[in-house]
Amino acid sequence: MIIFEVVSPEYSDHDYFIKANIYQRFGVLEYNIVEQNGMITQYSLIDGSYRTPKVLDHKDIYVSSVFPELRIELKDIFEF
């Protein structure tokens, strides 16, 4: 399972921590936090826990850690 969560500017680090813990506990393989400024933080579940996240910006290409054939050019989504 992959989750993309689009967050508001008011979303806090505390919210990130709580959500990541919940998704990790339920075995969500990939959790992506999508910010309105064009940043995506990608967490991948490895051996039951999320490791250091990968941070992408609007110029990068998103590649799913679960489905590597899923590739999205972020410039096509975010207009800057």
pTM of the model: 0.85
Q: Which pLDDT belongs to residue 63?
A: 97
- pLDDT digit string (tens) for the chain, length 80 residues: 899 999 888 777 777 788 889 999 999 999 999 988 899 999 999 999 998 899 999 999 999 999 999 999 999 988 76
Alpha-carbon Rg of the chain, whole angstroms?
A: 12
| Superfamily in which the 2-76 domain is placed by CATH | tt1808, chain A (3.90.1570.10)
User: For residue 40, how many other CB atoms are within 10 A of its CB?
Assistant: 22
Burial class of 71 by CB neighbour count within 10 A (0 to 12, 13 to 18, 19+): exposed
Residue entry with tokens 């992408």: 56
Q: Which pLDDT belongs to residue 56?
A: 96
40 backbone dihedrals φ, ψ, rounded to 5°: -130, 130
Q: Which pLDDT belongs to residue 80?
A: 65
Domain ranges of the chain: 2-76
CA 70, CA 68: separation in Å to the nearest integer? 5
Burial class of 75 by CB neighbour count within 10 A (0 to 12, 13 to 18, 19+): middle
Q: Which pLDDT belongs to residue 16?
A: 79
